[in-house]
C-alpha cells in the first residue's frame, strides 16, 4: 500500500506595530571632559538606529540600512530638528535650575519622544471594541472614533491616562456598539500624538474569536487538499488496476500481464 503525502506551506503575514523612540539628553555643569552638553539617540524596537550630539553637530547612522538615508531631505530635516532641540534644552535646564534654586553641580534634563503602539481589541463579536494606545511620550494624546468618516462620540468610554514602567504612557477608548452597527457602518479609531496620526480600522481588530476562525480556515484548507489528493490517488490506482502489460522475451514468446 502506497501513501501520497502532501506538504502544504501556508504563509502567514503579520502586520505588527513598531516602537520608534527618540531620547533627548541635556547636561550642564562640571562634567567629564568630552561629554556633550546635548545628545539625541533614536531606537527602533529597542535597537539604536542613529545618534547626534552637540560636539559632532551631525546625525550619525548606527545601522547599515540607515546609511542610504543620509543624503535625503528627511535626514537633513531631522538633523535641523535636533539642532533646534539642542538650544531649547540648553534654555530649559537654566530655567529648571532657577526654579529649584540650584546653581552648582551637574544637572541633566532628559525626555523621550515616541509614535504610539495602537491596537484594536475585542473579546468576541458581541463585545465592545477597545482602542488601546501605549508606549508614547509625552503624555498628550488624542483618541477619536470615526463613524463613516465623521467623528463619533456616542457610546464611547475614554479611559484614564496610565503610566508604563519605562516612563511612557498608555490610554484606551472603548466603543460600545452592536454587531449590526459594525456591519452596517465603517468605524475606525484615530490616535494623534505629537503631530503623528495613526488610524486603525475594523479589519485590524485582534480577538480570540478571529484567531480561532483563521486557524479553523487554515485547517479546513489542509483537510480539503489532503482529501483531494486521496481521491486522486484512489482513481489513479483503480485506473492502473486495469492496465495490461505485454512483453516479448528473447526466445520469441509473448507474455501478457493484467494488473490487479
CA torsion sign, 153 to 156 to 157 to 158? negative
Most confident option among 31-35, 92-96, 152-156:
152-156
17: CB partners within 8 A, 6+ apart: 117, 118, 119
Q: What percent of the chain shows pLDDT beyond 70?
A: 71
**Closest to 53 in 3D by CA, of 85, 19, 29:** 85
**Closest to 90 in 3D by CA, of 78, 107, 68:** 107
> pLDDT averaged over the chain?
77
Q: What are the pLDDT digits (tens) for 139-160?
A: 889 999 999 999 999 999 999 9
Most confident option among 7-11, 13-17, 68-72:
68-72
For residue 164, name the pLDDT band (cuts at 50, 70, 90): confident
Q: What are the pLDDT digits (tens) for 239-253?
A: 655 554 545 555 555
β partners of residue 190:
144, 199
pTM over cut 0.85: no
> Residue 95 above 60 pLDDT?
yes
CA distance 7 to 226: 9
- Note whether 245 and 257 are within 8 A (CB): yes
β partners of residue 147:
150, 187
> Residue 214 above 60 pLDDT?
no
> Residue 125 above 60 pLDDT?
yes
> Residue 59 above 90 pLDDT?
yes
CA distance 169 to 42: 18
Cell of 223: 483537510
β partners of residue 192:
142, 197
CA distance 169 to 171: 7
Identify the pLDDT of residue 225: 65
CA torsion sign, 221 to 205 to 166 to 43? positive
CA torsion sign, 197 to 201 to 203 to 204? positive
User: DSSP per residue over the chain, as a string?
Assistant: -------------------EEEEEEEEESS--TT--SEEEEEEETTEEEEEEETTT-SEEE-SGGGGGGTTSHHHHHHHHHHHHHHHHHHHHHHHHHHHTT--SS-EEEEEEE---EEEEE-SSTTS-EEEEEEEESSS--EEEEEETTEEE-TTEEEPPPEE-TTS-EEEEEEE---HHHHHHS-EEEEEEETTEEEEEEGGGEE-HHHHHHHHHHHHHHHHHHHHHHHHHHHHHHHHHHT-EEEEE-TTS-EEEEE--
> Residue 221 above 70 pLDDT?
no
**Closest to 187 in 3D by CA, of 207, 202, 206, 173:** 202
Mean pLDDT, residues 178-207 taken together: 88
Amino acid at each position: 500500500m502506497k501513501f501520497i503525502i502532501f506538504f502544504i506551506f501556508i504563509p502567514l503575514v503579520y502586520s505588527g506595530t513598531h516602537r520608534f523612540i527618540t531620547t533627548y539628553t541635556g547636561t550642564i555643569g562640571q562634567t567629564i571632559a568630552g561629554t556633550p552638553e546635548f545628545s539625541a539617540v533614536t531606537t527602533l524596537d529597542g535597537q539604536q538606529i542613529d545618534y547626534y550630539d552637540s560636539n559632532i553637530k551631525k546625525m550619525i547612522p548606527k545601522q547599515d540600512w540607515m546609511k542610504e538615508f543620509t543624503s535625503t531631505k528627511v535626514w537633513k530635516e531631522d538633523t535641523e530638528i535636533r539642532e533646534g532641540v539642542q538650544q531649547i534644552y540648553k534654555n530649559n535646564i537654566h530655567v529648571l535650575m532657577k526654579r529649584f534654586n540650584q546653581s552648582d553641580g551637574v544637572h541633566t534634563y532628559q525626555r523621550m519622544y515616541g509614535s504610539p503602539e495602537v491596537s484594536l481589541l475585542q473579546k468576541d463579536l458581541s463585545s465592545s471594541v477597545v482602542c488601546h494606545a501605549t508606549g508614547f511620550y509625552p503624555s498628550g494624546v488624542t483618541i477619536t472614533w470615526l463613524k463613516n468618516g465623521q467623528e463619533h462620540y456616542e457610546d464611547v468610554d475614554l479611559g484614564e491616562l496610565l503610566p508604563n514602567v519605562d516612563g511612557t504612557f498608555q490610554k484606551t477608548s472603548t466603543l460600545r456598539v452592536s454587531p449590526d452597527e459594525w456591519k452596517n457602518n465603517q468605524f475606525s479609531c484615530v490616535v494623534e500624538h505629537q503631530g503623528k496620526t495613526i488610524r486603525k480600522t475594523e479589519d485590524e481588530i485582534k480577538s480570540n474569536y478571529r484567531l480561532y476562525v483563521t486557524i479553523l480556515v487554515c485547517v479546513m484548507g489542509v483537510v480539503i487538499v489532503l482529501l483531494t489528493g486521496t481521491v486522486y490517488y484512489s482513481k489513479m490506482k483503480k485506473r492502473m488496476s486495469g492496465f495490461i502489460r505485454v512483453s516479448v522475451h528473447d526466445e520469441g514468446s509473448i507474455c501478457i500481464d493484467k494488473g490487479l
